[in-house]
Amino acid sequence: MLKSAFWGGIASGIMVGIGGTVYLSCENKVVGATLFSVALLVICLLGFYLYTGKIGLFIEKPDKLSAFALPVGLAGNAIGAGLTGFGAALVKPALVETAKKICDAKLEGGMLKGLVAAVFCGILMYAAVKTYGTKGTLVGIIFCIPTFILCGFEHSVADVYYFTVASLAKFDPMSIVFILVAVAGNTLGGWLLPVLTGLAKGKEQGNGAK
């Protein structure tokens, strides 16, 4: 499982990076955000490992092996997204300045704003992956991904990609802190809906017992 999490994590990071590349390449942000969905579509259909998709499912059925796989998969995600960022900047150098403007705005907004935005992204990521896993539909992915992008919510793996591209213009050490904050926010957001669902089911069962 750890091996598949790592290599599948790298594959997922590459797909997120490709999604980020098409987003940066589009002048029309609605079109770019919609096309970004290709990342999670491929990840889900091919069974790759994406931390922001797995963390919410983990809280539903936690186990020791999955707990070890999460950081391994996240490391793979970061490697894949980072490598794709360097490659995209090489192929399309114009993206560097675009990414820098986006990343400067992220850092200027502050860590608290980044944390809350990452929580909202985590909620939508869980919803997208869960609806695919339980209902077999891609509708959640097609709608949830553009929604979090157009709302300006923070996806930690995508942020690795954006900050990597931007670093070719100027590296800011605070970008690492921001990404870690985004990971924390994505984690909390990914846990929110399953925890609330569990509480609701528990209350319903309690009422039924009465």
**Sequence spans of domains, the chain:** 2-200
Whole-structure pTM value: 0.93
Which pLDDT score, from 0 to 100, does residue 210 have?
47
Asked whether the predicted pLDDT for residue 188 surpasses 70, the reply is: yes
35 or 64: whose pLDDT is higher?
Answer: 35
Asked whether the predicted pLDDT for residue 126 surpasses 70, the reply is: yes
Query: What's the average model confidence in pLDDT over 157-166?
Result: 98
Encode pLDDT of 30-43 as tens digits.
Answer: 999 999 999 999 99
Query: What's the average model confidence in pLDDT over 42-49?
Result: 97
d(CA 133, CA 122) in angstroms, rounded, equals 16
Distant-in-sequence, close-in-space partners of 123: CB < 8 Å, separation ≥ 6: 189, 190, 192, 193
Encode pLDDT of 73-98 as tens digits.
Answer: 999 999 999 999 999 999 999 999 99
d(CA 130, CA 190) in angstroms, rounded, equals 10
Asked whether the predicted pLDDT for residue 182 surpasses 80, the reply is: yes
Which pLDDT score, from 0 to 100, does residue 86 have?
97
The CATH superfamily assigned to 2-200 is Glycerol uptake facilitator protein. (1.20.1080.10)
CA dihedral of 67, 180, 77, 198, whole degrees rounded to 10: 40
CA dihedral of 71, 182, 128, 38, whole degrees rounded to 10: -90
Asked whether the predicted pLDDT for residue 209 surpasses 80, the reply is: no
Res. 203 pLDDT band, cuts 50 70 90: low
